[in-house]
A and B are shown apart, each in its own frame.
Chain A
Amino acid sequence: GAGVSQTPSNKVTEKGKYVELRCDPISGHTALYWYRQSLGQGPEFLIYFQGTGAADDSGLPNDRFFAVRPEGSVSTLKIQRTERGDSAMYLCASSLSAQGAFETQYFGPGTRLLVL
């Protein structure tokens, strides 16, 4: 079946602009995760959803970052007043449920964000 999809694949924006990154999880997966990966580093957790609600948003760096999943499927990560330091790869993952340590997360191809 289809894997996790993310759009756009690349996004170039100017400092101070607003951007939205979209994630479409694997069909039937109830848990959805966002990670950010800076160049040369491993991904870092941002937020995860179980269904429609954000179950853990402890990784969001500040209040410029916000994510929604209104119908429990597609999710949008929103970044306001972008800064050059927001430039990174944004990865989305989904898992069948949220059974803690025992669930495999499957990742999408990512969105490369560049803030000029």
Chain B
Amino acid sequence: AQKITQTQPGMFVQEKEAVTLDCTYDTSDPSYGLFWYKQPSSGEMIFLIYQGSYDQQNATEGRYSLNFQKARKSANLVISASQLGDSAMYFCAMSSNNAGNMLTFGGGTRLMVKP
């Protein structure tokens, strides 16, 4: 079985500062993928960034980067230069070959950016 844990129910960050959202995962499968999604109040899940278990380097996409620490089984999302529009729910998710094609999601972190 695979499991995702997000321990921060809510986070505040000042506009223009960086913020780290925590995610730890558990799986016995050596082949897996880790994903971060953003969910604004409108409800749509927006894909942000992906990290494969065999990737040697941390993934980056614009202001988003993924701090992947395989030995610790953590995949934290770093958002640089926070903007007011970054206020939303953020979900960490994973899939693994042994678990089929389903995504398993964490409980999410609500990020609030202060002006």
Min Cβ gap A69→B in Å is: 14
In the bound complex, what is the Cα–Cα distance between A60 and B29 (angstroms)?
24
Residues of B bordering A, CB below 8 Å: 4, 29, 31-33, 35, 37, 42-47, 50, 52-53, 91, 93-97, 100-108
Q: Is A2 an interface residue (CB 8 A)?
A: no
Contact B47 A98 (CB under 8 A): no
In the bound complex, what is the Cα–Cα distance between A107 and B47 (angstroms)?
8
In the bound complex, what is the Cα–Cα distance between A23 and B94 (angstroms)?
23
Q: Is A21 an interface residue (CB 8 A)?
A: no
In the bound complex, what is the Cα–Cα distance between A50 and B11 (angstroms)?
38
User: Which of B101, B102, B105, B108 gathers most chain A CB within 10 Å?
Assistant: B101
Determine the residue in chain B with the shortest Cβ distance to A98: B101
Q: Is A109 an interface residue (CB 8 A)?
A: yes
Across-interface contacts of B101 in A (CB, < 8 A): 31, 33, 48, 55-56, 95, 98, 100, 103
Binds B, one of A12-20, A39-47, A73-81: A39-47
In the bound complex, what is the Cα–Cα distance between A58 and B100 (angstroms)?
10
Across-interface contacts of A31 in B (CB, < 8 A): 101
Contact B42 A104 (CB under 8 A): no
Min Cβ gap B61→A in Å is: 11
* Residue interface bits A26-43, CB-to-B below 8 A is 1, else 0: 000001010100000111
Across-interface contacts of B103 in A (CB, < 8 A): 33, 35, 43, 45, 93, 105
In the bound complex, what is the Cα–Cα distance between A103 and B102 (angstroms)?
10
Determine the residue in chain A with the shortest Cβ distance to B31: A101
Given A42-B108, A43-B103, answer yes or no on A106-B97 (Cβ-Cβ < 8 Å): no
Contact A109 B42 (CB under 8 A): yes
Q: Is A112 an interface residue (CB 8 A)?
A: yes
Determine the residue in chain B with the shortest Cβ distance to A105: B103
Contact A110 B43 (CB under 8 A): yes
